[in-house]
Structure 1
Amino acid sequence: MTPSWTRRGVLHAAGGAALALGTAGPAAAAPQTPAATAPRAAADDFAALRAVWRDLVLGTGFSPTAEPFATRLRELGTEAAAHLAAMAPAAGSLWPDLPLADPEPDKDTESYGYSARLVDSYTRLRTMAEAHVRAGTGLTGDAALATGILTGLDHLHDLAYNAAQPPYGNWWSWQIGAPQRLLDLCVLMYDRIRADRLAAYCAAVDHFVPDSAVASYTGTSTGANRVDLCRVLALRGVVGQDPAKTALARDALSPVFPYVTTGDGLYTDGSFVQHTYVPYTGSYGAVMLGGIGLLLALLAGSPWAVTDPARQIVLDAVEHAWAPFIHNGLVMDGVSGRGISRGVMLSDPRGIQQDDHTRGHGILASVVLLAEGASGAERTRWRGLVKGWMRRAYYSPVLEDRTLSLASLAWLAGVENDAAVPAAAHPSGHRLFASMDRAVHRRPTWTASVSMASRRITHYETGNTENLRGWHTGSGMLYWWGDDYANGQYSDAFWATVDPYRLPGTTTSAKRLADAAGGDWGASRPAADWVGGATDGTVAGVGQHLKGLGSTLEARKSWFFVGDTVVCLGAGITCTDGTAVESVIDNRNLGAAGVHPLTVDGVTAPAALPWSAPLTGARWAHLGGFGGYVLGGTTGVRALREQRTGRWSDINKTCATTPLTRRWLTLFADHGTDPVNASYAYQMLPGADAARTAARSADASWMQMLANTGQAQGVRVPSAGFTAANFFAAGTAGALTASAPCAVLVRERGDGTAVVCVADPARQAASLTVTWNRPVAAVVSRPATVTSAVTGGSLRLAFGSLTGAAGATQKTVVRLG
């Protein structure tokens, strides 16, 4: 049986509304009703939909006198009262600090533009409306507040958002930001808005968001943006009692569901891309997930229920695409695009910082909502995942997140307080997202992720004067978090204070770059194809042909994820910029006052600030509270302890200018000026203590280096049965030989079998032969891409064209000889 939201199940009671969940049969697989033949709808259909939306917006099932809701409701009332007191309708604004009259109608003249101020004006009115209709705000039902809201709605309509006004500035403000908030207001204040004014507001929405906005799945009408547009159309239909609009919204949602092979949307490997070239699971992807959940919930049980069977693709993506990027409640910055630069926004009167945790908490709430329209088994699993993430959210407790709406808070509190829901454990394994140049590796006590760039995926995204210095985030940035430590690493003013030329894991030229270098919206893509790797789902070999942004820098980089270790190799590091080149082993944010002792070969380094020193001949280093580094294969290693001050406005002009100071510890390999074929090799051991780090450094047999050149990089870890090589050209590395560029990984298992993983990250192999010089008795299974397999004293696998495999790993299982 499939639980579903039902408009008939909405029960209204004094002081609020409670949403009852009904149980219906499996969703029909019949095609959607075309908008042109939308069913006739009675007024009570729309009244019921308004009631459902009201409950989705406000949340249900919580007491306004219980914490944390009571405090949040009082804060809401205080904020609304301040907005009402400051409201001063004038010729060019509703609030003096939010001028709306743009002197240049074709564009915003400031980074924080006039069209954005229109959205903020509607946001303030929406805050006031919530305070008016919610219990416990101190302004519930307040007549003066209601008058202010209605006055504000009329003023914004007459001044800016009306059917005669041409749009200016950012298209999003007119088609998504403003109308979403306006229509929410229309639902919340429906009984107080005169019919003629309601019609005028609907006409304004029709003007800025005509049906043609969803006529084709192109441009700004794809992925998350398309879902947002559908939300506008659906609510416009509900508010204006227009069945054709509501049906159009439902039908226009269908192009979002299928997998894509290029551009925006979900890929079969779990990747999510927006703006054509930007990995965006954590930002636009979160918007899409939440928007679909809201629309499915709104329309369930109505004449416009979403019955497209392809919606299951999005439901599957909860575990396939979103869950891999959630760690202890946060969503990884490597899939949040320019959103990483949105610290404290100027538009937030509370001055609350946004970060990887607040973005992650929103996704958790969306998963809970979406679960109500999923199968019983999915609902059970997803609620368990959410509870597990919440229980492990040590750094930023979810139910204390003041960026969450009260509705989201209620959904999440419902999971936390449900004794029947077991908390899912932290998973282990490896996921490689070849379609967006990302990899995620999980161990029982830590998680790591790599961000890369290629012709397909941008170095970084800037736009709207946001993320101005994210230049090197795609240059092999290696993020990592512990199970119960280091979870605030990228949350605590990281992006505002980090040296943007020394992001952890990257190899960069010190050549100075201008803010927003490379161009907006993902324009900065390197002419590199070999980016990706191979994995069996437990261990992995990942690699990158690196070409620097605005630089002559080239390098080959590899990460081998095996056991408790990330083996990091770099080779062919060459540059003619006339500047220094560095490979950053790690760059740890120590917080505002952190000390964290650094031990090098058993000797504690000075804790003074600033401090810099070469670690000539160092074999290992350990940073207290974080982990260890085996440095034996790297020359020119230096350590730097410093204090850095920055502002969110330095990297995002829509953010606050308050200075922030954090302490940093950086380990890096200095390759000198204009290096030719420089290299590095080190091991990273997250969470290891000094003794284990020293022991690993002394254990020369733990790992064998097979190759570390510009043509191939590979390692063998006998204790793990692990052999892997990234071939950037045809060649041999240890027992592995490849006839063309590819990634190869072999894991010998304890049952006498081995899995042989092969991938074509460059997507250029018309044919490929891989040889493993190890006796093999038989092939147990092989993919269709293997055209022949020869066993005996060695294994020889011949592949047909892999150009259409989208970089996916091809797994062959063999029985060892």
Structure 2
Amino acid sequence: MTTRWSRRGFLAASSGTALALGMHTTADALPLTSAEISESAQTAEAADEFATLRAKWRTLILGEGFSPTAEPFTTRLTELGTTASQLQSTMAPTTGSLWPDLVYADPEPDTDQESYGYSGNLNSSYNRLSTLAQAYSQAGTGLTGDSGLRDDILAGLDHLYSEVYNENQTRYGNWYSWQIGAPQALLDVCVLMYDQLSAAQLANYVNAVDHFVPDSAVSSYSGTSTGANRVDLCRVLALRGVVGASSAKIALARDALSPVFPYVSSGDGLYTDGSFVQHTTVPYTGSYGSVLLGGLGMLFALLAGSTWEVTDSGRQIVFDAVENAWAPFLYNGLVMDGVSGRAISRGLSASDAKQIQQNDHLRGHPILASIVLLGQGASSTENTRWRGLVKGWMQRDYYSPPMSDPSLGLTSLARLKGVQDNTTVSAIAEPTGHRLFTNMSRATHRRPGWAASISMADRRITYYETGNGENLHGWHTGSGMLYWWGDTFCNGQYSDAFWPTVDPYRLPGITASRKVLADAAGGDWGASLPDVNWVGGTTDGQRAAIGQYLKGLQSTLLAKKSWFCLDDSIVCLGAGIKCTDGTAVESTVENRNLGPTGSTAFTVDGTVKSTTYPWSETLTGATWAHIGGHGGYVFPGGATVKALRDARDGTWSAINKGGATTVLNRKYLTMYVDHGTDPTAATYAYLVMPGATASQTQTRAAATSWLTILANTDSQQGVSVPSLGFTGVNFWFGGTVGALTASNPCCVMINEKSDGTAVICVSDPMRMQTSLTLTWNRAVSSVTSKPSTVTSATTGSALTLTFGDLSTTAGVTQKITVKLG
């Protein structure tokens, strides 16, 4: 006999589907028709899928695969419980605030607030509720399932809804708090507390989210809805769909991700050369890029295997970017500051009760965890290799081991712990080679034992980013700053309170006027761009020639700066340095952070200098210098260099309005070339040899024929290193340098090899040349390979290459291989 189900009976057998969907039942319901049974079954199946997604997101928030009784998880869970108890005890709902120190009531006049201010306090209030919900949901916190904590969480949600985050509220302050920060935390709490919330509460909260994050928030890929921000908005929409059982919202979120995937040629997003830009003009691989990578990893994982799985083939671009865009800026666990924008000023927050100082390592570790998560949706080959890369980065991070990172969440710790403990995963060594990121005016140079990066600025890439009262003194970080790290030394060079204590006018590698600049000079959000075109270079993937036409920020300073990146050193040249600011102009050879003690030895031409603080000396005719435990510096032909030991005080609040006021002191050893006041044609030349011993540095200085400076003028800069078969020339204008003649501005690098071949690399950093003729006065018998941009090649006693239109090549290297005569 066939059983006829009543609506009540069917829904009761559907595991609480009626409650989940807000459906009503009656005792005297009529029997269902076959069509109704089918429809109800589909509805129940959909409800089950929403429950599955809630469970998946819960796991993504809380983590999995770890024991709460094993370290470091036991300690971290205990800390979570302690923090939650403190927050619970201080929560005091009243008009205008949920916590006394987070007032959100009054609309603020400054519409650019994000990290502080009233709208930021709203964001922080929801984040605190999220912390409470995690303590309630996690095992081992001491508050797991605590009814009092549950009641306080629900009361806090209702308070924020009734007071400020509801469908009748007009937003104020920064858009981010209303569209990303607050709703993300709110929806996370809704998932964690789902079974404790009534249908009316859930309806209220999703209505509020719908009000502040309508579908139109992702209708156009522009403004604040691009790159990492778009991914964050999609996370809000997807979770709103999960919590509110809306298939349409989840589908919208999935589809709205698609514009993030394709490569871009301007503005925000990923570029084919591995650049990642956010806020239109800011290199942001290490900050917003981290958000994008982590957000995509979570959304891919959430929707995998569901009705709304992300199947857009463009997602492979994101997978490719792991090694094309992120890995080049990860070094032994840290992510390089040159691609972290204003985040470099977020060292220690005034409101950080645990006083965790953020730095390049702590920004790098979440990226490692995101790569592990993203690998779950990639190919098995990619997943295996990425886990090997992550394991290597973890093992080599002696300065700040990821598993001891106090700022890393439990989920990230669990993912990294899984890689660390997996004996089938083999650690992969740091790669060597050069990467030139022409679309964000950055370069990385990686050699056995060390790595370096160069930060520049042009009419597309800002000097620096400030905003929200952050990074107030980052003015010269794009003026040719040269960072470098060692594999087993100097990994904490920029990590240990560097940014609040360093002299911002003497950043390593830069040329700058001593003209005093105001906090946030140049404007917020990367608004200030130098009016220059010639910034970029050329590379064969191992060596490089790079140049920057520098115009000072709010200064009359002009300079031509070049870097030639070689096997064990970087040759640095400066020329055409002029300024009429009425102040001194300096080129900083080095500014090493020697920590709180600063007793490191400093040797110049064999003489050990004073270790007292303060100390300064003009080094006249110096040919080499060495900083113990760091590296060596060579001055071809001798140079007059000023050196000083400086004990500098600083606070995070001086460079970030939300920073701590604690006074920090660090010792610095600085070398700089003083070009004097208002120079007219100043120059400099030096080599940086990371990790070199004093003996190696002295030997290089004594080998006066090792390096030939072919030109160092306002028109051209070039060098040759015969033992390496290397020649590199930056033609700021057409002309002849050594054996090379160029008809127009360009960058040229030649590597002659022992097999009788040579690779010639040419680029148009200006992106303006519609024709170019390059002649190399060297016997060449044949051209074995060339790009389509080479329209003719004449060989014989000399090589003449004619290029067509290079203006559309985005400054990318054009590589020609020849057989030498």
TM-score bracket relative to the smaller structure: over 0.9
Corresponding residue for residue 669 of structure 1: 673
Q: Displacement, 1:772?
A: 1.3
Q: Which stretch of the first structure deviates more once superposed, 69-78 or 119-128? A: 119-128
Q: Secondary structure at the match of 1:796?
A: strand
**TM-score, normalised by the number of residues in structure 1:** 0.94
Which of 558, 570, 581 pairs up with 2:574?
570
Corresponding residue for residue 249 of structure 1: 253
Q: Displacement, 1:632?
A: 3.2
Which of 419, 441, 456 pairs up with 1:415?
419
Give distance in 2, aligned partners of 1:606 and 1:717.
34
Q: Are the equivalent residues in 2 in contact too, given 1:600–1:618 (CA < 8 A)? A: yes
Correspondence 1:144 to 2:117: no
Q: Displacement, 1:636?
A: 3.3
Give distance in 2, aligned partners of 1:266 and 1:426.
23
Per-residue CA deviations over 1:516-564 (Å, capped at 9, x if unaligned) read: 0000111111011000000000000010000000000000000001110
Corresponding residue for residue 713 of structure 2: 709
Q: Displacement, 1:334?
A: 0.3
Which of 622, 625, 643 pairs up with 1:621?
625
Corresponding residue for residue 185 of structure 1: 189
Correspondence 1:505 to 2:509: yes
Which of 100, 103, 107 pairs up with 2:104?
100
One-letter identity of the residue aligned with 2:744: A
Q: Secondary structure at the match of 1:395?
A: coil
Give distance in 2, aligned partners of 1:267 and 1:98.
40
Q: Secondary structure at the match of 1:618?
A: strand
Which of 404, 407, 412 pairs up with 1:403?
407
Q: Secondary structure at the match of 2:462?
A: coil
Q: Are the equivalent residues in 2 in contact too, given 1:730–1:738 (CA < 8 A)? A: yes
Q: Are the equivalent residues in 1 in contact too, given 2:735–2:742 (CA < 8 A)? A: yes
Correspondence 1:691 to 2:690: no
Give distance in 1, aligned partners of 2:750 and 2:43.
58
One-letter identity of the residue aligned with 1:529: N
Q: Secondary structure at the match of 1:115?
A: helix
Corresponding residue for residue 314 of structure 2: 310
- Mapping of 1:192-207 within 5 angstroms? 192-207=196-211
Corresponding residue for residue 298 of structure 2: 294
Give distance in 2, aligned partners of 1:95 and 1:445.
50
- Mapping of 1:260-339 within 5 angstroms? 260-339=264-343
Q: Secondary structure at the match of 1:546?
A: strand
Q: Displacement, 1:108?
A: 7.3
Give distance in 1, aligned partners of 2:44 and 2:276.
37
Q: Secondary structure at the match of 1:245?
A: helix
Q: Secondary structure at the match of 2:572?
A: strand
One-letter identity of the residue aligned with 1:172: Y
Correspondence 1:600 to 2:604: yes
Q: Quick one: structure 1 residues 556 and 477, their matched pair in 2 at CA, closer, same or farther if it must change by over 3 Å? A: same
Q: Are the equivalent residues in 1 in contact too, given 2:643–2:671 (CA < 8 A)? A: yes
One-letter identity of the residue aligned with 1:467: N
Q: Are the equivalent residues in 2 in contact too, given 1:108–1:115 (CA < 8 A)? A: no
Corresponding residue for residue 593 of structure 2: 589
Give distance in 2, aligned partners of 1:803 and 1:208.
43
Corresponding residue for residue 425 of structure 1: 429
Per-residue CA deviations over 1:714-758 (Å, capped at 9, x if unaligned) read: 100111111110000001111111110000000112222111000
Give distance in 2, aligned partners of 1:566 and 1:430.
12
Give distance in 2, aligned partners of 1:203 and 1:303.
24
Q: Are the equivalent residues in 2 in contact too, given 1:532–1:807 (CA < 8 A)? A: yes
Q: Are the equivalent residues in 1 in contact too, given 2:135–2:143 (CA < 8 A)? A: yes
Which has the higher Rg, Structure 1 or Structure 2?
Answer: 2
Q: Quick one: structure 1 residues 514 and 243, their matched pair in 2 at CA, closer, same or farther if it must change by over 3 Å? A: same
Give distance in 2, aligned partners of 1:437 and 1:126.
39
Corresponding residue for residue 25 of structure 2: none
Q: Are the equivalent residues in 2 in contact too, given 1:111–1:653 (CA < 8 A)? A: no
Q: Displacement, 1:773?
A: 1.2
Give distance in 1, aligned partners of 2:702 and 2:520.
45
Q: Are the equivalent residues in 2 in contact too, given 1:759–1:808 (CA < 8 A)? A: yes
Q: Which stretch of the first structure deviates more once superposed, 499-508 or 100-109? A: 100-109
Q: Displacement, 1:106?
A: 7.1
Which of 736, 760, 765 pairs up with 1:756?
760
Q: Secondary structure at the match of 2:683?
A: strand
Q: Are the equivalent residues in 1 in contact too, given 2:636–2:704 (CA < 8 A)? A: no
Corresponding residue for residue 548 of structure 1: 552
One-letter identity of the residue aligned with 2:274: G
Corresponding residue for residue 388 of structure 1: 392
Q: Are the equivalent residues in 2 in contact too, given 1:108–1:114 (CA < 8 A)? A: no
Give distance in 1, aligned partners of 2:414 and 2:751.
46
Which of 73, 77, 97 pairs up with 1:73?
77
Q: Displacement, 1:44?
A: 0.3
Which of 780, 783, 788 pairs up with 2:787?
783
- Mapping of 1:336-375 within 5 angstroms? 336-375=340-379
Q: Answer 1 or 2: higher relative contact order, Cα 8 Å, separation at least 6.
A: 1
Per-residue CA deviations over 1:212-251 (Å, capped at 9, x if unaligned) read: 0000000000000000000000000000000000000000
Give distance in 1, aligned partners of 2:332 and 2:353.
28
Corresponding residue for residue 450 of structure 1: 454
Aligned Cα RMSD in Å?
Answer: 1.3
Q: Displacement, 1:616?
A: 0.6
Q: Are the equivalent residues in 1 in contact too, given 2:500–2:652 (CA < 8 A)? A: yes
Q: Secondary structure at the match of 1:636?
A: strand
Correspondence 1:488 to 2:479: no
Q: Secondary structure at the match of 2:482?
A: strand
Q: Displacement, 1:105?
A: 6.7
Q: Quick one: structure 1 residues 213 and 109, their matched pair in 2 at CA, closer, same or farther if it must change by over 3 Å? A: closer
Q: Quick one: structure 1 residues 80 and 74, their matched pair in 2 at CA, closer, same or farther if it must change by over 3 Å? A: same
One-letter identity of the residue aligned with 1:802: L
Q: Quick one: structure 1 residues 527 and 133, their matched pair in 2 at CA, closer, same or farther if it must change by over 3 Å? A: same
Corresponding residue for residue 19 of structure 1: none
Q: Are the equivalent residues in 2 in contact too, given 1:387–1:416 (CA < 8 A)? A: yes
One-letter identity of the residue aligned with 1:318: V
Q: Are the equivalent residues in 2 in contact too, given 1:39–1:303 (CA < 8 A)? A: no
Q: Displacement, 1:110?
A: 10
Alignment: residue pair count: 780
In the alignment, structure 2 segments of 5+ residues that lack a partner are: 1-41
Percent identity, aligned pairs only, is 67
One-letter identity of the residue aligned with 2:59: D
Corresponding residue for residue 534 of structure 1: 538
Per-residue CA deviations over 1:468-491 (Å, capped at 9, x if unaligned) read: 000000000000000110000000
One-letter identity of the residue aligned with 1:45: E
Give distance in 2, aligned partners of 1:420 and 1:773.
54
In the alignment, structure 1 segments of 5+ residues that lack a partner are: 1-37
- Mapping of 1:95-174 within 5 angstroms? 95-104=99-108, 107=111, 112-174=116-178
Q: Displacement, 1:107?
A: 3.9
Q: Secondary structure at the match of 1:187?
A: helix
Q: Displacement, 1:348?
A: 2.8
After TM superposition, what 4+ stretches of structure 1 lie above 2 angstroms from structure 2?
38-41, 103-112, 346-349, 632-636
Q: Quick one: structure 1 residues 802 and 492, their matched pair in 2 at CA, closer, same or farther if it must change by over 3 Å? A: same
Q: Secondary structure at the match of 1:295?
A: helix
